[in-house]
Amino acid sequence: MKRVVICRYAPHEGPGYFATYLTRARIPWSILKLDEGEALPRAEEIAGLAMMGGPMSANDELSWIPPMLALVRESVAGDVPVIGHCLGGQLLARALGATVTRNPVKEIGWGEIDVLDTSVSSDWSPAGAFLSYHWHGETFSIPEGAHRIWSSAHCGNQAFVIGPHVGMQCHVEITAEMIDTWCETGADEIERNVSRSPAVQRPEEMRENLDERLAALRRVADYVYARWTAGVRTDST
């Protein structure tokens, strides 16, 4: 049986709620630790390709990035569904010929996402704006042939869809534990940018009404993940 392969690029950037969803849906999955040098599979060996976040840039000259981009292109060509979260969304965009550049401001913490009023957007997300979690300083352009589905005041391109593939700039997979860890590992980044960007929050702001915010975001994540997993085929044929 084929599995969804979840690519991890940093120890503190795990799959979060995405793994919870896959387990609940009884979709087999495994984590591939690129940060520990584990080798990438071939697209024909996997049911789906998921890419998580990371502190590096998709433009960095790291040894694993060229083969990662090649696997993304191979997966897209072979109709193996690809999903990217934050850095993962940027890697998907870059693999499809788009660019990754500096965002006008850093986004760290909770911020509102607008869902574009299109049929493609409604296929992938509930109608209306929602609150999502963010932690990024770069952004992607929209690949040729893809559809932008989400936007925000501080980052015009928050998500795009092309066929069964989706790339997101925000973190719909976030959990309370991940927020705690990121606020600890990224404390210096927060302090450097909280006075420079209107989209950067202090940890205490991020934790306000946290249970309610996470519950609402999971409803959005469920919608996205249900649409994405509809294209996942775990059989070996």
The phi-psi region of residue 231 (left if phi > 0; otherwise alpha if psi is between -120 and 50; otherwise beta) is alpha
Whether 217 maps to a domain, the answer reads yes
Whether 122 maps to a domain, the answer reads yes
**pLDDT tens string 149-200:** 999 999 999 999 999 999 999 999 999 999 999 999 999 999 999 999 999 9
Whether 237 maps to a domain, the answer reads no
- Rounded Cα distance between 161 and 140, Å, is 13
Whether 10 maps to a domain, the answer reads yes
- Rounded Cα distance between 72 and 42, Å, is 10
Average pLDDT, integer, range 92-120: 97
Whether 79 maps to a domain, the answer reads yes
Whether 137 maps to a domain, the answer reads yes
Question: How many domains does the chain fold into?
Answer: 1
Does position 237 have pLDDT exceeding 60, yes or no? no
- Amino acid 139: pLDDT: 97
Nearest partner of 27 among 35, 19, 38, 15, judged by Cα:
19
Whether 156 maps to a domain, the answer reads yes
Does position 26 have pLDDT exceeding 90, yes or no? yes
- Amino acid 235: pLDDT: 85
Question: Where residue 127 falls among pLDDT bands split at 50, 70, 90?
Answer: confident
- Amino acid 79: pLDDT: 96
Question: Where residue 236 falls among pLDDT bands split at 50, 70, 90?
Answer: low
- Rounded Cα distance between 63 and 75, Å, is 20
Residue % of the chain over a pLDDT of 90: 97
Q: Which domain holds residue 28?
A: 4-229
Chain centre distance of CA 200: 19
Whether 147 maps to a domain, the answer reads yes
Are 34 and 8 in contact, with CB atoms under 8 Å apart? yes
Does position 234 have pLDDT exceeding 90, yes or no? no
Average pLDDT, integer, range 123-131: 94
Query: CATH no. for residue 151?
Result: 3.40.50.880
- Amino acid 209: pLDDT: 97
Average pLDDT, integer, range 8-16: 96
Mean pLDDT score of the chain: 97
Question: Where residue 217 falls among pLDDT bands split at 50, 70, 90?
Answer: very high
- Rounded Cα distance between 2 and 21, Å, is 17
Copy the structure tokens of residue 103: 């965002």
